[in-house]
Amino acid sequence: MARFTFAGSTAPGGRWAVRKAEFLPQLTDVGSGFRVVNLNAALAEQPGRGDYAKARDSIRGIVLSRGGAKDGLMMAK
């Protein structure tokens, strides 16, 4: 899931700018009724979930593999 923070223009009619661009690593747990799992939150509650850590790390690698990090894209906490 993407999350953007915008800053308004100081000039009338000016453009808005992206101040912060983040992604939230999530997965759909089909074993429990198609529940969406926020992997960062789940790992904070259950740090021993290696399967969640592996999924989060894989998502981070794929998302950042296209060069977005150099433009400020980061994984949300």
Domain enclosing residue 20, as ranges: 2-75
pLDDT of amino acid 42? 94
pLDDT of amino acid 50? 94
Quick one: tokens of 76?
């949300």
Question: How far apart are the C-alpha atoms of 44 and 34, rounded to whole Å?
Answer: 21
Domain count, the chain: 1
**pLDDT, tens digit, 9 for 90 and up, residues 32-77:** 788 999 999 999 999 999 999 999 999 999 999 999 999 999 999 8
Structure pTM? 0.79
Quick one: tokens of 27?
């997965």
Question: How far apart are the C-alpha atoms of 77 and 68, rounded to whole Å?
Answer: 17
Question: How far apart are the C-alpha atoms of 64 and 74, rounded to whole Å?
Answer: 8
